[in-house]
């Protein structure tokens, strides 16, 4: 999906600018290319311009959440792997939003907070190490 020289691209979708920047730095430091957006609507626009190799999305965002993004991808017939993340999986008690995200097509889920090693291992596993940067 890209030129042989370009790094695999990761699209980060999260409404928290500080977390977006932290995630970007974690992922860039191991050799992946990264774009960041603040919600599902911005992600849809970004995907229209450049299809990423993988998407990492928060579930709850005020203006276009991760469920909306997963549904849009499914409705478009797009098979971009998605890692859903959330810090409130034990909050409401009614349902586990990460399980719902998997039902909607997320290929992996991750609870916040998490370590860089867990995030990178999850990305590498989802991408099957195809073109993963050397460590």
Mean pLDDT over the full length of the chain: 88
pLDDT at 57 exceeding the cut of 60: yes
CB 135 within 8 A of CB 30: yes
pLDDT at 3 exceeding the cut of 90: no
pLDDT at 128 exceeding the cut of 70: yes
Q: How far apart are the first and last CA of the chain?
A: 22
pTM (2 d.p.): 0.87
Query: Rounded to an integer, what distance in angstroms lies between the CA atom of residue 95 and that of residue 47?
Result: 29
CB 53 within 8 A of CB 127: yes
Query: Rounded to an integer, what distance in angstroms lies between the CA atom of residue 30 and that of residue 26?
Result: 7
Domains of the chain: 9-127 (3.40.50.2300)
- For residues 32-46, one letter each, b for 16 or more C-beta atoms within 10 angstroms of the residue's C-beta and e for the rest, the string is bbbbbbbbbbbbbeb
pLDDT at 93 exceeding the cut of 50: yes
Helix/strand/coil (H, E, C) string of the chain? CCCCCCCCEEEEECCCHHHHHHHHHHHHCCCCEEEEECCHHHHHHHHHHCCCCEEEEECCCCCCCHHHHHHHHHHHCCCCCEEEEECCCCCCCCCCHHHHHHHCCCCEEEECCCCHHHHHHHHHHHHCCCCCCCC
């Amino acid at each position: 999906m890209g030129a042989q020289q370009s790094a695999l691209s990761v699209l980060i979708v999260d409404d928290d600018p500080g977390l977006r920047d932290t995630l970007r730095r974690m992922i860039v430091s191991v050799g992946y290319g990264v774009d960041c957006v603040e919600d599902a609507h911005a992600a849809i626009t970004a995907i229209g311009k450049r299809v990423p190799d993988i998407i990492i999305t928060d579930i709850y965002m005020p203006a276009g959440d991760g469920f909306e993004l997963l549904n849009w991808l499914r409705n478009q017939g797009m098979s971009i792997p998605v890692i859903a993340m959330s810090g409130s999986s034990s909050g409401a008690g009614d349902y586990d939003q990460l399980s719902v995200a998997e039902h909607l097509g997320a290929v992996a889920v991750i609870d916040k907070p998490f370590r860089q090693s867990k995030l990178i291992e999850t990305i590498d596993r989802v991408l099957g190490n195809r073109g993963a940067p050397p460590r």
